[in-house]
Amino acid sequence: MAAITLEAVGKTYAGGVKAVHSIDLAIQDGEFVVLVGPSGCGKSTLLRMVAGLESVTEGKISIGDRMVNEVEPAERDIAMVFQNYALYPHMTVRQNLAYGLKNRKMAKAEISRRVDEAAQILEIGAFLDRKPRALSGGQRQRVAMGRAIVREPAAFLFDEPLSNLDAKLRVQMRGEIKQLQARLGTTSIYVTHDQLEAMTLAHRLVVLNGGQIEQVGTPLEVYRKPASTFVAAFIGSPAMNLLNAKAEGGVAHVGGGRVPLAAAVTGPVTLGLRPEDVRPADAGTEGAFVLKIAYVEELGAQKLVHGTVEGQNFACALPSDAALGQALHLVPEPGAAHGFDAQTGKRLG
Amino acid sequence: MKRIFFRNKILPYLLIAPQMVVTIIFFLWPAGEAVLQSFQREDAFGLHTTWVGLANYRALFQDPDYIHSLQVTVVFTIGVTAVALIVALLLALAVDRTIKAGPAYTTLLVWPYAVAPAVVGVLWWFLFNPTIGLMPYLLSLVGYHWNHALKGDDAMILVIISAAWPQVSYNFLFFVAGLQSIPGSMREAAAIDGAGPVKRFFTITLPLLSPTTFFLVVVNFVYAMFATFPVIDATTQGGPAGATNILVFKVYQDGFVGLNLGSSAAQSVVLLAIVIALTVIQFRFIERRVEY
Ligand SMILES: Nc1ncnc2c1ncn2[C@@H]1O[C@H](COP(=O)(O)OP(=O)(O)OP(=O)(O)O)[C@@H](O)[C@H]1O
Ligand SMILES: [Mg+2]
């Protein structure tokens, strides 16, 4: 178990592609950190640099109190779970689990103790003598996890380990990974582009965009106080509405309504409102703005109403029994509005 | 599999007819003749044939020359297969590491396969020629006096190299394809699991290549046993003292030079049986895939 520290870490690929720009991040011992961001933002690159599978072209990576930039993957005391699991197809499950221990010349008795223990934790005892091709996707996933935990490493690295599973299994495995990490207390870095997976798993989220950190924080911090329009749009489902508005003394004017912001700004501003943070109001209510309804999605527990506010797309979540006409008057919940700089997209206040 | 139906009942037979004619005239008919002849004895002028049953076969397996030729063939076949596979695998591993520089390098490595076997033989014969060749000169510098015209072992090495060389290209292509189909993450997982490059090669890469390797072993066996006649003919002609007289070459010598048609026919039937056996093994395993 160990802390992982990244100091000004950057990566420029041989072709000149700059995949990661100067990242600073301190991961505490036992922490579960999720790197999340859209495709191509450099998540895998960053994780692979920690694993030692990619060279570090700028900055320093330390695991524990050891700088590991030049250390071989095998010597870093980490275990990795790959997206395609990378199980050895010619070995049985037992041999897959034991391979890393054997290579480290561990005693036979200790190997079989650890394999049996991991098999019990992951409930894969019944297929120890099967080859990976005779397993289902979920079972392979467990074996891949087993291969990581038998090593009892200082850190687990996960690169989108659930993306090859169907939706239902993904939710189940997500829960299991969370419990397993809590139980073992091993420092973990988990890469995903699925914001829900990120929110549910992380102690701390790192939102990446274009090779840079947009925001670091607990899932709730990131959800409640997104640092930029990028994070605001990325975290939360359905996504936060972002409207171009004019502000005067900390109040945004849009769609005929007035929405108070946390910062006393004047001028153009981007107003952020989550679909669940508005409620319908009577026409003529103080500050209410107008949503012209385009179409409605019934989700069962609630309905999602899509339309436009002053010609800009807007969605709101309403109770399923809400009555609808051609248009809706909406007021934000108190304190729920987010203000962002219209130019830079950075959070105001 | 896609099935195609022809409305015309005769057309499909017409379409395969040329291939069938070629197969019958150049393969089935001579093979049948050979089987027939192997049970007969013919006088030197071809006037008289007598039915002798298995006598030709019995004589064959009691003939020390034939047994010797069989041994030579085993050494030659294993030698060619081993050299062609190992060299090809080493080259393929080198390409696999730097696949970006691959295409030009790959194309160069494939050229030898396009060279006619007899030309290959002559090429190596020149390179190893005791009086004018480059290799004997280089070897003489380290104190070895190469002479494949006199030394059986030298001759064997010469024919193995000559026969293996074009085959390296063929094996190389299959190995490159095989290596490319191993996901990079497998190697990375093994690296994290503490296996160094050599261990990784023997415990991950080689086992995952085993279907390719098995296929190539059979193909190379068949090649070395049956398709190397021109190489032998252009280099050693089976000599010295029969040291490189492999079965296919002996069939030709006994039949066309020695005019012992009955024995030669029996020898070719034995060869035919070996090909059939290898082919059966090949198909058996390809169906089941090699277990991993
Ligand atoms: N070997 C490489 N050589 C050059 N550029 C690369 C290489 N690997 C990745 N890149 C580039 O680096 C950037 C980041 O890639 P990376 O694989 O880290 O993205 P990611 O966030 O993991 O995306 P995804 O969610 O699609 O897996 C991309 O622009 C990609 O094209
Ligand atoms: Mg990735």
Q: Could you tell me the CATH number of the domain that includes residue A27?
A: 3.40.50.300
Residues A222 and A287 in one domain: no
Residue A204 in domain: yes
Average pLDDT for B130-136:
81
The CA-CA-CA angle for residues B186, B190, B193, to 5°, reads 140
* Pair (A157, A62) in one structural domain: yes
Same domain, A210 and A125: yes
CB-CB contact of A69 with A61 (8 Å): yes
Could you tell me if residue B50 is inside a domain? no
Asked whether residue B239 is assigned to any structural domain, the reply reads yes
Q: Does residue A28 lie within any of the structural domains?
A: yes
pLDDT at B255: 77
Task: Indicate whether A157 and A209 sit together in one domain.
Answer: yes
What is the longest distance spanned by two Cα atoms in chain A?
78
Q: DSSP string of A109-144?
A: HHHHHHHHHHHHHHT-GGGTTS-GGGS-HHHHHHHH
Q: Provide the strand spans (E) within A72-228.
A: 78-81, 155-159, 187-192, 204-209, 212-217
Flag whether A349 is in a domain. no
Q: Above 80 in pLDDT, residue B164?
A: yes
* Spatial CA neighbour of B78 closest among B202, B163, B176, B178: B163
Q: Under an 8 A CB cutoff, do B189 and A80 touch? A: yes
3-state DSSP assignment of residue B148: coil
Whether residue A263 lies inside any domain: the answer is yes
Evaluate whether residue B215 is within a structural domain.
Answer: yes
Report which bound ligand comes closest to the CA of A82.
2
- Report the number of distinct structural domains present in chain B: 1
Last residue of a domain, one of A230, A262, A286: A230
Say yes or no: A194 and A49 in one domain.
yes
How far does the CA of residue A73 sit from the closest CA of chain B (Å)? 5
**What's the mean per-residue pLDDT of chain B?**
82
Chain B CB within 8 Å of residue A53 CB: yes
- State yes or no: pLDDT of B110 exceeds 80: no
Residues A68 and A98 in one domain: yes
**Chain A closest CA to B195's CA: distance in Å?**
6
Task: Ligand 1, residue A42: give the atom nearest the CA.
Answer: 18
pTM of this structure: 0.81
**Domain range for residue B139?**
66-289
Domain co-membership, A147 together with A80: yes
Task: Indicate which residue's Cα is closest to atom 19 of ligand 1.
Answer: A40
CA of A179 from ligand 2 middle (Å) equals 24
Residue A236 covered by a domain: no
Same domain membership, residue A203 and residue A291: no
Q: Percent of chain B at pLDDT above 90?
A: 14
Q: How is the beta sheet containing A347-348 ordered, strand by strand?
A: A257-260, A251-254, A241-248, A267-273, A338-341, A347-348
The residues lining ligand 1, judged by C-beta closer than 6 Å to any ligand atom, are A 13, 15, 17, 19, 37, 39-45, 193
Is residue A237, in this structure, part of any structural domain at all?
A: no
Identify whether B108 is part of a domain: yes
Give domain status of residue B48, yes or no.
no
| B178 pLDDT tier (thresholds 50, 70, 90) | confident
- Helix, strand or coil for residue B7? coil
**Domain for residue A347, yes or no?**
no
Q: How far is the alpha carbon of B186 from chain A, nearest alpha carbon, in Å? A: 5
At CB < 8 Å, which residues of chain B contact A? 183, 185-186, 188-196, 199, 203-204, 207-208, 210, 292
Question: What is the CATH number for B90?
Answer: 1.10.3720.10
User: Does B290 have pLDDT greater than 80?
Assistant: no
CB A41 within 8 A of CB A117: no
| Contact list, A72 vs chain B (CB under 8 Å) | 191
Answer yes or no: do B192 and A80 touch at CB < 8 A. yes
- Per-residue pLDDT, B106: 66
Give B-chain residues touching A160 at CB under 8 angstroms. Answer: none
Residue A13 touches partner B, C-beta closer than 8 Å: no
Which pLDDT belongs to residue B83? Answer: 96
Does residue B5 lie within any of the structural domains? no
What pLDDT is stored for residue B2 in this prediction? Answer: 57
Q: Which residues, 6 or more positions from A44, have their beta carbon under 8 angstroms from its beta carbon?
A: A159, A160, A191
Mean pLDDT of B50-78: 85
- CA A11 to ligand 2 center in whole angstroms: 14
Count structural domains, chain A.
2
**Beta-carbon separation of A80 and B191 below 8 A:** no
What is the per-residue pLDDT for B12? Answer: 83
**Nearest ligand to residue A54 Cα:** 1
| Average pLDDT of the residues in B131-150 | 81
- In the prediction, which pLDDT does B229 show? 86
User: Looking at ligand 1, which residue's alpha carbon is closest to its atom 1?
Assistant: A13
B12/B275 Cα distance (integer angstroms): 30
| Structural domain span for residue A126 | 4-230
Grade residue B182 by pLDDT with cuts at 50, 70 and 90.
confident
Span of A17-26, A240-249, B169-178, B231-240 with lowest mean pLDDT: B231-240
The last residue of a domain, from among A203, A230, A257: A230
- The residue whose CA is least distant from atom 10 of ligand 1 is A19
Of the segments A27-41, B41-55, B99-113, which one has the largest average pLDDT value?
A27-41
From A109-118, B98-107, B282-291, the region with the lowest mean pLDDT: B98-107
Within a domain: residue B83? yes
CA angle at residue B261 from B256 to B263, to 5 degrees? 115
* Regions of chain A short of the pLDDT cut 70: none
- The rounded Å distance from CA A24 to ligand 1 centre is 19
Nearest to B189 among A52, A86, A90 (CB): A86
How many angstroms separate the CA atoms of A208 and A41, rounded?
A: 6
Q: Which of A34, A35, A41, A158 to mutate to test the pocket of ligand 1 (most atoms within 8 A of CB)?
A: A41
The minimum CA-CA distance between A112 and chain B, rounded to whole Å, is 16
What does the pLDDT average to over B24-31? 85
pLDDT at residue B287, rounded to an integer: 65
Return the axis-axis angle of helices B261-288 and B55-62, rounded to nearest 10°: 80
> pLDDT confidence of B3, banded at 50, 70, 90?
low
Residue A348 lies in a domain: no
Query: Would the CB atoms of B188 and A104 count as touching at under 8 Å?
Result: no
Q: Please list the residues that pair with A190 across neighbouring strands.
A: A34, A158
- One domain, residues A148 and A267: no
Task: Look at residue A199 in the predicted model and tell me its pLDDT.
Answer: 94
Whole-complex ipTM: 0.84
Residue A82 in contact with partner chain B when CB distance is under 8 A = yes
Report pLDDT for B135: 82
Band (B49; pLDDT cuts 50, 70, 90): confident
| Ligand that lies nearest to the alpha carbon of residue A53, given by its number in the listed order | 1
| Atom in ligand 1 nearest the alpha carbon of residue A17 | 5
**Does any domain span residue B44?**
no
Q: Are B101 and B117 in contact (CB under 8 A)?
A: no
**Nearest CB to A103; choose among B186, B194, B292:** B194
- Alpha carbon nearest to ligand 1 atom 29, residue: A40
